[in-house]
Amino acid sequence: MPVASRTRTSARTRSSSRPSPSARPTKERVLVEFPAELLKRADEAARKLEKNRSELIRTAVEQLIDSIETKRFEQELASAYQANAGLAAKLSEEFSHIDREGF
């Protein structure tokens, strides 16, 4: 019986004191090692940007990932243009008489 009452109490406490898990984003703690000089520079940048160290690191990681994804997308797009260059030239030639007609 004592176990059941503890379970009930903890469930009641949990529901009243914390928002539901879906209401807040989940975060994971990580341990990252920095060379002392880099950490000093990061802390100075965070201070100038009025952010804390975690916000600065999150922002930097997000920007790096966005940059990598953008570069990959641009490479895929360039490859697609190159792969379809022959078709584009053929279509251009096929409709060239319309271009010469004028409007």
Higher per-residue confidence, 58 vs 11: 58
User: What is the average pLDDT across 10-21?
Assistant: 52
pLDDT of residue 44: 98
* C-alpha span between 95 and 103 (Å, rounded): 14
pLDDT of residue 75: 95
Average per-residue pLDDT for the chain: 82
Give the DSSP letter of residue 95.
T
User: What is the average pLDDT across 32-48?
Assistant: 97
Among 45, 60, 16, 23, which Cα is nearest to 8's?
16
- The string of pLDDT tens digits covering residues 56-87 is 999 999 999 999 999 999 999 999 988 888 88
8 A C-beta contact, residue 42 and residue 56: yes
Two tokens, residue 70: 């953008």
